[in-house]
Amino acid sequence: MTITYEKIATTTLVSAAADITFSTISGSYTDLVLVLGSLTTASANQRIRMQLNSDTGTTYSNTDLYGDGSSAASTRNTGNAYINTTMATTSSTIPSTVIMNFNNYSNATTFKTVVSRANTSDNYVSAIVGLWRSTSAITTIKLFCGTGNISAGTTATLYGIKAE
């Protein structure tokens, strides 16, 4: 079986923005991959959060693993109005890379999961598993900061994966 990545959309922020949103996502792929590059925020210690299909209810949970080379820790949250996709290390000066995998995103019988891996160019890494307690197919992905804006120069590319 051949696996094909197909670019759905790319956004590069030319000015700071409150969010990055991908909408009207087709259900014709098996999985989705969302890559954030050169990610910085207007202020330090921000998490990038995610909401799906404009759901602002407390239907999200996440488990976080993170470390900085000298220590590691984990946390778990449930009943949130968003999924954290990064730890609170996003910086106004040190860019991060984030890769999010959405498996079986268009299945109408299971809750949706996302695995997010992030790192900064100085020393921080994280892996986060998020859960959206909905059986709806994912058609919209919104990324935003806890406070402030995502900085200019940040890129976001959404890929669909087709199994042929």
pLDDT tens digits, one per residue of 116-135:
998 877 778 889 999 999 99
Give 97-135 as a 3 state SS string: EEEEEEECCCCCCCCEEEEEEEEECCCCEEEEEEEECCC
Does 110 map to a domain? yes
What is the band of 46 on the pLDDT scale with cuts at 50, 70, 90?
confident
**CA–centroid distance for 133 within its chain:** 16
pLDDT digits 0-9 by tens, 64-114: 998 888 888 899 999 999 999 887 556 678 888 999 999 999 999 999 999
- Domain contains 78: yes
Closest CA to 73 of 20, 147, 125: 125
- Let me know if residue 55 belongs to a domain: yes
Q: Is residue 3 part of a domain?
A: no
User: Average model confidence (pLDDT) for the chain?
Assistant: 91
Q: Environment class of residue 156 by beta-carbon count within 10 Å: exposed (0-12), middle (13-18) or buried (19+)?
A: buried
133 in a domain, yes or no?
yes
pLDDT for the residue 139: 98
Domain-embedded: residue 40: yes
Residue 152 covered by a domain? yes
The number of folded domains in the chain is 1
> Where residue 72 sits, what CATH number does that domain have?
2.60.120
- Is 122 part of any domain? yes
Cα 5 to Cα 34, 37, 124, distances in angstroms: 11, 17, 28
Range of the domain at 137: 9-163
Cβ neighbours around 27 below 10 Å, total? 12
Pair 137, 108: CB distance under 8 Å: yes
